[in-house]
Amino acid sequence: MRCVLPLLLFSLVTASGAAAQCKDAVSTKDMQDCADSEYKKADAELNSVYQATLKKLKPEDVGLLKKAQRAWLAYRDAHCDAQYHLFAGGSIAAVSLTQCRATLTAARAKEIKDSYTPQPQ
């Protein structure tokens, strides 16, 4: 079972939007480097979207988004830590943690864009 999990996780890593150069990652280090790259990219996008959104909001709404973002960060970290512990002791655990953070962070950036961008009527 432990042999199948890294292969399954690697499939999830590449399927979830990892960069093209990451598709050939076979070593744990290569997978971790790929996950790190994806997380940094997603985090930069989230920060950009978040800051731009804060600037567009009414002052009374800024605090609400900040509160929601703090709660989301706590959720993301707790969720990914729980996932990490599923693989604790294995070489793929750190890749799992970083990829989880990358996936959720990218989704959060999209969520903020979709939620705070006025929709055409």
Task: Give the model confidence (pLDDT) of 14-54 as tens digits.
Answer: 444 444 457 777 788 888 899 999 999 999 999 999 999 99
What residues does each domain of the chain span? 72-114
How far is it, in rounded angstroms, from Cα 120 to Cα 99? 34
Which SS3 state, helix, strand or coil, does residue 27 take?
coil
How far is it, in rounded angstroms, from Cα 104 to Cα 72? 10
Task: Give the model confidence (pLDDT) of 85-111 as tens digits.
Answer: 999 888 889 999 999 999 999 999 999
